[in-house]
Amino acid sequence: MNKFTFELVSPERVLVSECSEHVILPGIAGELGVLYGHLPCVVMLKPGIVSMLLGGSISGRFYIRGGLADVRPNDTTVLAEYALNIQNVSKEIFTKELSLAEHALAKASDEEAYFSAQSSLDALRSVNL
């Protein structure tokens, strides 16, 4: 399978810049699978899990609070509002993020805020640390 360059960038730093065979993104219209040669597009991302696959297995998983993906045939870049590497995150940081999502859901004042908070909460609850 052909590989392409995948970068995940948060405001603080570049979390990953590696070759991947397949990346799964949490698009606001649904999950988007990206492979080498994908048609160019820009995708709005909701809070959720970004998964990288290499050699038929998951090589990286990241929680993002939303952002934007620039998909091109040879590379894909995700600009995330906030991102955590699930494989390297401490239980304390993860628990804090879960608490923030629960608080955001409780105080959501409109449909967009509710959707974003619920997406965060669902994604975080799906993670097994």
Claim to verify: residue 78 and residue 103 sit in the same structural domain: no
Amino acid letter, residue 122:
D
The 3-state DSSP class for residue 58 equals strand
User: Looking at the structure, do residues 28 and 81 belong to the same domain, yes or no?
Assistant: yes
Q: Is the pLDDT of residue 1 over 80?
A: no
Q: Are residues 77 and 102 in the same domain?
A: no
Q: d(Cα 98, Cα 32) in Å, to the nearest integer? A: 24
pLDDT above 70 for 129: no
Q: How far is CA 33 from the centre of its chain?
A: 12
Residues 28 and 63 in one domain: yes
Residues 40, 11 within the same domain: yes
43-86 tens-digit pLDDT: 999 999 999 999 889 999 999 999 999 999 999 999 999 999 99
Q: Do 9 and 46 belong together in one domain? A: yes
Regarding whether 95 and 81 lie in a shared domain, the answer is no
Domain holding 20, by residue range, is: 4-85
Average pLDDT over residues 28-36: 95
- Are 117 and 60 in a shared domain? no
Nearest to 21 by CA among 58, 54, 60: 54
Indicate the pTM of the whole model: 0.88
- Calculated CA dihedral for residues 95, 100, 106, 110, nearest 10 degrees: -140
